[in-house]
Structure 1
Amino acid sequence: GAAMLAALWAYNGWNNMPLVAGEVRDPGRNVPRALIMGMLVVLAGYGLANLAYLYALPFNEVVTSNSTAYREAPPVATKAAQTFLGTFGAKFVTATFLLSTMGALQGVILVKARIPFAMARDGLFFSTIGTVSKRTSVPVRAIGIEAAWASVLAATGSFDQLTDFVIFAAWIFYGLTAVSVFRLRHKMPYAPRPYRTLGYPVVPLIFVLVALWLVINTLQTSPVESVMGLLLILLGLPLYYYFQRKQEAGKVLTI
């Protein structure tokens, strides 16, 4: 349900690395390494942080910290810092949250604009979105599209609601991506594969089942968040079919 979505949000971001694979040297070797090492570092960091929280606070204080059930309560990190360092500690942790957010935004700006950029290059979006600045070679228009849409979303709901919408919708596509591994192995058995699927077919099958369970469970326990996530996906269908028809006709609209 919502609690699982909130937990998965903390680890989300691993999916961003493949989006910039085209700009990575030797991606077949370095992208998997970056994914594995990045996840190990994040897991270790979160694990140590949670051990520190449990050491510093009574269990009841941890449970009643800021979450989907206690939206107005202070974060557990703030409580722990206040226990060790007093009011100054709480302010210090708040400042580190802001710095961490700025760092995350840098990564999001770098990779997320590559989605409309790649769509435009493939003829599935307005062609000018697939252009780059002549001076900096940056996809400025794609970044502008992402910034505008992010601003609209930020103005329509709370952070918790937005993350629930996004994670639910994202795991639908994560599962479909894993399904595509089986599909492509069947349709294109001799295609070059720079990225190896370790443990095939067991590992991708487990991933598909987990994604399916998460989607079904969220539909049952958090129907509002689930419906909103589905609506966000459906909003893109009219544009998708429009550009698909244009692509089939050999004409892509330019704005």
Structure 2
Amino acid sequence: MWAYDGWIEITYVGSEVKDPERNVPRSIVLSTLIGMALYCLVTASFAYVLSPARMAASSLVASDAAQVTLGRAGAALVAVAILTATLGSNNGIVLTAARIPYAMARDGVLPRWLAAVHPRFLTPVPSLVVQGIIAIALTWISTEPSWKDTYSRLFTYVVLSEFVFYAMSCGAVLRLRHKAADLVRPYKTWGYPVTPIVFILFSLWLVINTAWEQPRDAVAGAALILAGLPIYFLRRGAVAR
């Protein structure tokens, strides 16, 4: 699920996008379709070169496939390309994820100092710094003897927490359609209400399956989510006053 999860990132910077009513939906749809097509083609090519059984046994599928077709030099080039793509992915995550605490602080849900921006570059510096500290802390407490196990734990945290909030967001769409039917809605949900209900059910299934398969990591991920509740209630009380 991590491979297809980037579709939502554009919404975090929606206020900085030109003509968002047009460009945000197009970005979500086109990036998802292009990503799906690329992943399917690449996976099919790996299966053709290596066979599914060899793919399942390999921890470096792309590098092994390149070595079969291009030799050791090709495997090294593919490894460098993957590292470069990883840096690009991280760059996008750093850019977009920091906008979440920034927007929450601007709305008064988090401390106001998180809404501060750089006077010249207009970047949310405090939010970026806090995001970096949290990322370092999570990596440190999640470190396992094997790098694969460390990545697996971090991915479990991300997928579990994100899909909990995805389900809640879709539930909010259903609730607001009923509670505030007269609101102006520039974005239309295709197949409403079937599509959000299906997505909610899928998200819940994914969370339950993850908790069943990896209970220790699921409990840790749930604890991370619940750790934010005291801050939320404290800030909500302060805003109400």
TM class by shorter chain equals over 0.9
* 2:120 counterpart SS class: coil
Q: How much is the aligned-residue C-alpha RMSD, in angstroms?
A: 1.1
Task: Kindly indicate whether residue 102 of structure 2 is the aligned counterpart of residue 117 of structure 1.
Answer: yes
Q: Which residue in the other structure is 1:213 paired with?
A: 205
Alignment of 1:28-177 (within 5 A): 28-66=21-59, 75-157=60-142, 158-177=150-169
* 2:100 counterpart SS class: helix
Inter-partner Cα distance in structure 1 for 2:176 and 2:160: 25
Aligned pair count? Answer: 234
Inter-partner Cα distance in structure 1 for 2:104 and 2:40: 37
Segments of 4+ moved more than 3 angstroms: none
Q: Which residue in the other structure is 1:253 paired with?
A: none
The one of 196, 221, 226 aligned to 2:218: 226
Q: Which residue in the other structure is 2:171 paired with?
A: 179
- List runs of 5+ in structure 2 lacking aligned partners: 143-149
Identity %: 39
Inter-partner Cα distance in structure 1 for 2:169 and 2:27: 19
Inter-partner Cα distance in structure 2 for 1:58 and 1:212: 33
Kindly indicate which of the two structures has a greater share of residues assigned to helix.
Answer: 2
| Counterpart amino acid of residue 246 in structure 1 | A
Task: Kindly indicate whether residue 11 of structure 2 is the aligned counterpart of residue 18 of structure 1.
Answer: yes
* 1:99 counterpart SS class: helix
- List runs of 5+ in structure 1 lacking aligned partners: 1-7, 67-74, 250-255
Q: Which residue in the other structure is 1:190 paired with?
A: 182
| Counterpart amino acid of residue 214 in structure 1 | L
Cα deviation for residue 19 of structure 1 reads 0.8
Q: Which residue in the other structure is 1:252 paired with?
A: none
* 1:136 counterpart SS class: coil
Post-superposition CA distance 1:68-91 (Å, at most 9, x none): xxxxxxx11111011112221221
Post-superposition CA distance 1:26-81 (Å, at most 9, x none): 21221111001001111111111111101111322111122xxxxxxxx1111101
Cα deviation for residue 219 of structure 1 reads 2.0
TM-score, structure 2 normalization: 0.94
Higher RCO by CA contacts (8 Å cutoff, separation 6 or greater): 1
